[in-house]
Amino acid sequence: MRKIDSKYQEKKRGKRNQLILGFILIFVMFFSVIGYSFQGIISNDNTLEEFNYNGFEFTEQNGFWILNKNNINFIFKYHPNEVPKINSELKNLNNYNGKPLYISSESIEAESEIYTNLFQSVERIQNACLKECDENLPIKTCEDNFIIIKEGDEKIVQDNNCVFITGKTEDLTKLADEFLFKILEIES
């Protein structure tokens, strides 16, 4: 036989059950978030590939090479031994700090490599044209910080504040990384 409870006792039992259920849900949500955050740290494969180049420590993560320099993370598709060595004189990163950077590129991948690594140092990055162009983009000159990436003979050339990165289409990202290694003074 079931005992008859007053409405007060039923409300009290209902509130208690709701509190217990609430605490259980909070517990499950809290520990699922904690578990998810540790999922990337604790894995079956705890080996991170590291690569030292000229005293700079590169760490391979998710198919990219990460370099922490002056508490800023720089991310590259290739490490310095995978890019062609181009003999060129380039201004260092200080030339770009706090100034707008204009870019014209025939390679989205090379452009994104430049953008990913320089957006934290420059005022802004904007697409532009060196001379007339079909798109509705601003026309800039070599008085502005301007990077032009296009197909041509393999070279990286600084002309005033313009940098011309040219090479085979499939090598433009490697050449963009080589440019970055030089302006970050990872390579001389």
**Hey, where are the domains in the chain?**
50-183
Largest CA distance in the chain: 95
Residue 4 has a pLDDT of 77
User: From the DSSP assignment, how many helices (H) and strands (E) are in the chain?
Assistant: 3, 9
pTM of full prediction above 0.85: no
Predicted confidence band of residue 169 (pLDDT cuts 50, 70, 90): very high
Closest CA to 171 of 99, 102, 86, 98: 86
Q: What is the CA radius of gyration of the chain?
A: 27
Residue 161 has a pLDDT of 92
For the segment 61-77, what is each residue's pLDDT rounded down to a tens digit?
988 999 999 888 999 99
Residue 39 has a pLDDT of 64
